[in-house]
Amino acid sequence: QVQLVESGGGLVQAGGSLRLSCAASGRSFSSYVMGWFRQAPGKEREFVAAIRWSDATTYYADSVKGRFTISRDNAKNTVYLQMNSLKPEDTAVYYCAARSRGWVSPQNPKYDYWGQGTQVTVSS
């Protein structure tokens, strides 16, 4: 079955960097859209970034544009989220997700598969 396993979260000071990984398995993701979402305590889950696996087209939330970079490694079947210039408001559980419904509105949280999440905490 499809599995998405996130890693790379942790505690970092404001201004620092982290790289999250999402190892995908269970099928070919070449036609999928992969997304990163996050959820802070007491808040709704929000979109962070997405990538179309076939051609690496990307899309970002305005709040992370210019600071975060999403990418994928075909050989490792892994999606990454490089997070730079982190702010305390980036603190959240970060989730990897996958969907097969194409590139329309990648920020829509209606994804088919979700990982278990990884905690990112940014201290001020």
CA dihedral (38, 57, 101, 40) in degrees, to 10, reads 0
- What is the structure's pLDDT at 104? 86
Nearest-5° Cα angle at 12, 45 to 87: 55
- Report yes or no: 96 and 36 within 8 Å, Cβ to Cβ: yes
Q: What is the pLDDT of residues 18-64, one digit of tens each?
A: 999 999 999 999 999 999 999 999 999 999 999 999 999 999 999 99
